[in-house]
Chains A and B, each alone.
Chain A
Amino acid sequence: MVALAGLDLRVPAGQTFGLLGPNGAGKTTLVKLLLAIAFPTSGRAKVLDRPPGNVRAKARIGYLPENHRYPPHLTGEQVLHHFGRLSGLAREERSRRVTTLLRRVRMEEWSGVRVHKYSKGMMQRLGMAQAILNEPELLILDEPTDGVDPIGRREIRDLLLEQRERGATIFLNSHLLSEVERLCDRVAILKDGVLRREGRVEDLTRAKSAFQIEVRSASPGVLEAVAARVPGLTVAENPGPGGLPGGAGPGATSFRGTWLELSGDVPALNGAIDALRRQGVEIASIQPRRDSLEDVFVRVLEEGEPQ
């Protein structure tokens, strides 16, 4: 069975990169190849300009595996010290970071309790602390919010934003598309071990040749009349918050019924604008129509949308 095939991917330093795909798509396999936890049958990879498994490169990487387990005989604090030692952190520096991180992930009160008593959410919080303990240049996270409640998810998201601010490159493997959309600069979609789409979130979610036109001051029936004459132009009956780029924004509902959608290219857009203006319709804004990442993801997986 081939887990990954013909994959060609580059993640620039300092970016937050999301890897998407259904179960069995090869996401975890890719992460394991990057960390030399598994080896490719052919092909090559470089992580931080070194081959996977290079000890010096690993010292600059933080990793949170899916369903991670910590030695059950250790307390949360001991876990962090153990992995800090393995990462080569000196004692004083390690102690300082362990104390800070335990506070940061709100695990101070549980730091002296053995980890086998921790809930799933607590394990994830401790896992995040473990992953960023060495202040990594590259942070690889496999389903970091798996089993975490909404508040915990937000905390982890904040933590990731802090890491991004710090300049870390983040490689995020997640099923939660909304989370990926919020956090990531770029995403790749894998299916059956093959890369189906890759690019900036902004580009991927921009619908091809489709625009949303916000209008004001239209007389009754004018919009419908223009729409009947211009090919691809329709009056959006209820664009709603999801239909607007980046969310509806304040006051969006007051524009209900004054949005037009155009399926067409730029010349078609100009034709539509001319037609509207000739009828005295005031145009408030024009924006390329955006899909949610979930729309893109589903379309790529179910319809096999080409790259």
Chain B
Amino acid sequence: MKVAAILLDTGRELLYRKTIIVYFGVVTLVLLFFVLALQTDVANGVIASLTVAGLEGSASQGGFRLGDGAEGPGMGGLTAEMFVRYVQLGMAFFLYPLAILMSVFATASLVPRMLEKGTIDLMLSKPITRPALFLSRYAGGALTAALNLLYLTLGLAVILAWKTGVWNGGFVLSGLVMSFFFACLLAFTVLAGVLLRSTTVSIMITAVLFVASLLVRMPHSNRDWPLLITSRASRFLAQAVVETLYYALPRSYELVQSTVALIRHEGSVEWGAIFGSAASGALALALAVVYFSRKDY
């Protein structure tokens, strides 16, 4: 009941902050657009005709395009399955970054606000252990973000299944991978929050770590780059920094690749990246919990 109370309160707090509401509103508009504007005619698994908000679809190189129908009728044998994957990839490209961004903005304040004088005293006086209090707060943030991503992926998957008859469960799974990715990132956000007690700095640190996690992937996967550094000591240092960051941070690049693979049904999820990210997130979270449990407030 105590953990549920904190989860409930965290959800309420995030809704109160409006950031999540804005994201929820954007996703709802997108879903409504697909419900109202997308008309398809599918025959034997092939898109016979397609209109989006009155614009007719036509075959295009490697996909389809929307226009006034001057290009000629027909979708060039575009299958409903491919159409659904194209749409879902496009939505993932635009809405996943928005979801992550909004979630970081919304949840970065969770820990600093809890640590404010007058709030933390009261929370710590209640019969709940410090680790349970902190982890519940973290879980509330991660769960709220996951529910929002699930709303997008499940909603869009259902609408497209209704319009085309094709169900792509990979899209829903990709939403779960993104939720997992956000949970790993949130561990670093709450670590920054408990150490520095500043929402703004927590957001900045999360952004820097996210960019760093993307950047280090390139030198990590390209084994020849250290040869460009002539000094042996500098080369060793540079390699050490890259490898440390790569293994210490969530594997953002590989996780994004995994979402694409899930949506397209091509390749498989990179389990190494999943476990590596889970380990780095768990370590960050453990450090945050230990610090919170020993700190005087």
- State the main secondary structure of chain A at its contact with B: loop
- Select the stretch in B56-64, B118-126, B207-215, B243-251 that faces chain A: B118-126
B120 — which chain A residues lie within 8 A by C-beta?
A: 37
Q: What's the Cα separation between A36 and B15 when bound, in Å?
A: 31
* Residues of chain A at interface, number, CB under 8 A: 30
Does A259 lie at the interface of the complex (its beta carbon under 8 Å from any beta carbon of B)? no
A69 — which chain B residues lie within 8 A by C-beta?
A: 116-119, 122
A82 — which chain B residues lie within 8 A by C-beta?
A: 5, 8-9
Specify the chain A residue showing the minimal Cβ separation from B126: A86
Does B129 lie at the interface of the complex (its beta carbon under 8 Å from any beta carbon of A)? yes
Known: A85-B2, A86-B128, A88-B2. A68 touches B296 (CB 8 A): no
> Are A61 and B125 in contact (CB-based, < 8 A)?
yes
B6 — which chain A residues lie within 8 A by C-beta?
A: 86
Q: What's the Cα separation between A66 and B117 when bound, in Å?
A: 9
> Are A63 and B125 in contact (CB-based, < 8 A)?
yes
Q: In chain A between 1 and 49, which residues have their CB closer than 8 angstroms to a CB of chain B? A: 32, 35-39
Shortest Cβ distance from B213 into chain A, in angstroms?
A: 32
Q: In chain A between 59 and 76, which residues have their CB closer than 8 angstroms to a CB of chain B? A: 59, 61, 63, 65-74
> Are B127 and A86 in contact (CB-based, < 8 A)?
yes
Known: A73-B12, A82-B5. A63 touches B122 (CB 8 A): yes
Q: What's the Cα separation between A59 and B126 when bound, in Å?
A: 7
Does B1 lie at the interface of the complex (its beta carbon under 8 Å from any beta carbon of A)? yes
Specify the chain B residue showing the minimal Cβ separation from A63: B125
Known: A38-B296, A87-B127. A73 touches B121 (CB 8 A): no
> Are A59 and B121 in contact (CB-based, < 8 A)?
no
Q: How large is the interface on B (under 10, 10 to 19, 20 to 34, 35 or more residues)?
A: 20 to 34
Q: What's the Cα separation between A59 and B121 when bound, in Å?
A: 15
Does B294 lie at the interface of the complex (its beta carbon under 8 Å from any beta carbon of A)? yes
Checking A32, A38, A71 against B9 with a beta-carbon cut-off of 8 angstroms, the contacting residue is A71
Known: A71-B13, A85-B2, A88-B1. A65 touches B121 (CB 8 A): yes
Does B16 lie at the interface of the complex (its beta carbon under 8 Å from any beta carbon of A)? yes
B121 — which chain A residues lie within 8 A by C-beta?
A: 32, 35, 37, 63, 65, 68
Q: What's the Cα separation between A65 and B117 when bound, in Å?
A: 9
Shortest Cβ distance from A142 into chain B, in angstroms?
A: 8
> Are B12 and A74 in contact (CB-based, < 8 A)?
yes
Does B227 lie at the interface of the complex (its beta carbon under 8 Å from any beta carbon of A)? no
B12 — which chain A residues lie within 8 A by C-beta?
A: 71, 73-74
> Are B1 and A56 in contact (CB-based, < 8 A)?
no
**B253-281 vs A, Cβ < 8 Å mask (1 yes, 0 no):** 00000000000000000000000000000
Q: What's the Cα separation between A145 and B55 when bound, in Å?
A: 69
Q: What's the Cα separation between A140 and B125 when bound, in Å?
A: 10
- The residue in A56, A65, A74 that gathers the most chain B C-beta atoms within 10 A of its C-beta is A65
Provide a sorted-by-A list of 30 A–B residue pairs whose CB atoms are within 8 angstroms: A32-B121, A32-B297, A35-B125, A37-B120, A37-B121, A37-B125, A37-B297, A55-B128, A61-B125, A63-B125, A65-B125, A66-B118, A67-B118, A68-B118, A68-B121, A68-B122, A69-B118, A69-B122, A70-B119, A70-B122, A72-B16, A83-B126, A85-B1, A85-B2, A85-B5, A86-B5, A86-B126, A86-B128, A87-B127, A88-B127
18 more contacts with CB within 8 A, not counting A37-B297, A86-B128, are: A35-B121, A35-B125, A36-B124, A37-B120, A37-B296, A55-B127, A66-B118, A68-B121, A69-B118, A70-B119, A72-B16, A82-B8, A83-B122, A83-B126, A85-B2, A85-B4, A88-B127, A140-B125
List chain B positions with a Cβ less than 8 A from chain A.
1-2, 4-6, 8-9, 12-13, 15-16, 116-129, 294, 296-297
Going nearest first, the 8 A-B pairs with the smallest beta carbon separation are A73-B16, A85-B5, A69-B118, A38-B296, A65-B121, A63-B125, A59-B127, A58-B127
